[in-house]
Amino acid sequence: MLDQDTKRRVVLPWTAGRTAIALVAAAAAAAALADGTAWIAPPEAAALRNPVAPSPLSWQHGGRLFARHCSVCHGEAGKGDGPESGELKTRPADLTDPRRLGRMHDGEIFWKIGHGRDPMPPFSRILSDQAIWHLTNFVRTLPERSSDPERFARLETPAVSLPTVLSCP
């Protein structure tokens, strides 16, 4: 049994230190939830391999899907500033931040798009896996698009326009 003096010198500072650590951890968790970083895909998502090679054609397809399904919340450039973003309780992620996407495997991005999280719907209900992989490829380009949009405009513009129907005389 500890006497009162020992409790005051040893136990109370130790307990106060643990309380401070718990408060710091709680504050960090709250901050993570506030900026959206707490959304973690399950480990098996990281093991998923993207069967759709990143290419200008894939980026175009993914870009059309992004404009149709994602830009209303994430914004046209993916900054999380879409016209509906102000109405949401949780701010949409800024997908142009390279630190956010740099930490994730394609499989994790695919999983998050497919499964969603309130207020984001699970897009696997309306999009095929292949479409979600194209969207993943496009989302992966958003950090670089925000810093060098002309590069992607050049890559995605066909060098030669081909007619859709060939006519014979």
* The predicted structure's pLDDT at residue 150: 78
User: Residue 11 falls within a domain, yes or no?
Assistant: no
Q: What is the pLDDT along the chain (169 residues), one digit of tens a residue?
A: 666 776 566 655 655 556 656 555 444 444 444 555 579 999 999 999 999 999 999 999 999 999 999 999 999 999 999 999 999 999 999 999 999 888 899 999 999 999 999 999 999 999 999 999 999 999 999 999 888 777 767 766 655 444 444 444 4
Query: What are the tokens at 123?
Result: 């897009």
* The predicted structure's pLDDT at residue 114: 98
User: Residue 14 falls within a domain, yes or no?
Assistant: no
User: Residue 6 falls within a domain, yes or no?
Assistant: no
User: Domain of 81?
Assistant: 43-156
Please tell me the total count of domains within the chain. Answer: 1
User: Residue 169 falls within a domain, yes or no?
Assistant: no
User: Residue 21 falls within a domain, yes or no?
Assistant: no
User: Residue 102 falls within a domain, yes or no?
Assistant: yes
* CATH at 128: 1.10.760.10
User: Which pTM value belongs to this model?
Assistant: 0.70
* The predicted structure's pLDDT at residue 162: 44
User: Residue 63 falls within a domain, yes or no?
Assistant: yes
DSSP 91: P
* The predicted structure's pLDDT at residue 104: 93
User: Residue 142 falls within a domain, yes or no?
Assistant: yes
* The predicted structure's pLDDT at residue 160: 45
* The predicted structure's pLDDT at residue 25: 47
